[in-house]
Structure 1
Amino acid sequence: MYHAIVRAKVRSLWARIADGDYRAAVRLADPDVRFRFVGDAPPAASFTGRDAFDRWFRDLLDLFPGIRLTPYEVIARGWPWNTTVVTRFHVEAKLADGTPYRNEGVQWVRLRWGRMVDDYVLEDTARLAEAVRRQSASA
């Protein structure tokens, strides 16, 4: 039952982010959350802290205005003091030159008593780098 509740809360959180409330994720984060978005091009990052997490989201939305992140599979395991949540998701945005950007990714999160303490995100970096290049060329 606990895992079903976690999956429902995660889907609800992603829905809030899709509606523009990225701060819902920031509020869920532990003050010392560890975050890593794998890659070499923006929005690649590796840092610790809720304030940096908030800045990362703002920068992502500046880079890809109107971006849509849609989960299609959520897996939860563990206990409330050490829960792992893995989410497979789709990414969609309209680039500044009018072309669509579509990608997919995986997020691996560790929760402790309902707080996100570790967030690791993998997205197809080749597609992402091309989208960032197109955005920069249109700026």
Structure 2
Amino acid sequence: MIGRIAAAVYRRGLAAVEKGDIDTLLANFRADCELIFISDTALGARLSTRADLRRWFERFGRLLPNPRFEVRRLVVGGPLWNQRLAAHVIIRSTVLGEPYQNQFAQFLTMRWGKVVEDLILEDTLTWQRASRRLVEAGHPEAGAERLGEPGA
């Protein structure tokens, strides 16, 4: 039962990203949450404040408009005060009017229904190719520096 609730929270978070509803999404994160997106691209990040998370999700929305997520696998374990979620997700969007598809693994730690750590591992080669196309088409944000602390 507890695992199903955590899975529903996760899926609602993805739905909020799809709608661009950052406020609803951020309500699922604790104030001291850390988001790590492993990449040396504009989406790469190591963030630890809600303001920084907002900036990241806003950038994500500009670079990958109207994303759609398909959860292929979702595993939930642990008690409410220290839950772990692992997901394999397919993302679909458009880049310069052409279909974009990629996949990522996401690992979350939740305490009492709030995300305290969010680690995202995406196929960065696919994203780098799309980023390069965006930069060449005049979208410099796709080539911007990663957000937050270096080293993620």
Q: TM above 0.5, one fold?
A: yes
Q: Is the 8 A contact 2:20 2:61 kept in 1?
A: no
Query: What's 1:127 paired with?
Result: 126
Query: What's 1:87 paired with?
Result: 87
Change in CA separation of 1:11 and 1:118 when aligned onto 2, cut-off 3 Å: same
Task: Give matches, 1:38-57, under 5 Å.
Answer: 38-57=38-57
Matched residues, number? 138
Shift of 1:6: 1.4
The one-letter code sitting in structure 2 at the alignment partner of 1:83 is Q
Q: What TM-score, normalized by structure 1, do the two folds share?
A: 0.92
Query: What's 1:114 paired with?
Result: 113
Q: Which runs of 5+ in 1 are unaligned?
A: none
The C-alpha deviation readout for 1:19-60, integer Å capped at 9, x for no partner, is: 222332211111111110001111011121111111100011
The one-letter code sitting in structure 1 at the alignment partner of 2:13 is L
In 2, the alpha carbon distance for the partners of 1:54 and 1:134 equals 25
Q: Is the 8 A contact 1:28 1:115 kept in 2?
A: yes
In 2, the alpha carbon distance for the partners of 1:69 and 1:136 equals 24
In 1, the alpha carbon distance for the partners of 2:29 and 2:9 equals 14
In 1, the alpha carbon distance for the partners of 2:26 and 2:92 equals 21
Work out which structure has the larger RCO, using CA pairs closer than 8 Å and 6 or more positions apart in sequence. 2
In 1, the alpha carbon distance for the partners of 2:56 and 2:2 equals 30
* Percent identity of paired positions between Structure 1 and Structure 2: 28
Asked if residue 7 in structure 1 is aligned to residue 7 in structure 2, the reply is yes
Q: What secondary structure does 1:79 align onto?
A: coil
Q: What TM-score, normalized by structure 2, do the two folds share?
A: 0.84
Query: What's 1:69 paired with?
Result: 69
Shift of 1:13: 2.5
Provide the aligned C-alpha RMSD in A.
1.3
The one-letter code sitting in structure 2 at the alignment partner of 1:8 is A
Q: Which 4+ stretches in 1 moved above 4 angstroms?
A: none
The one-letter code sitting in structure 2 at the alignment partner of 1:7 is A
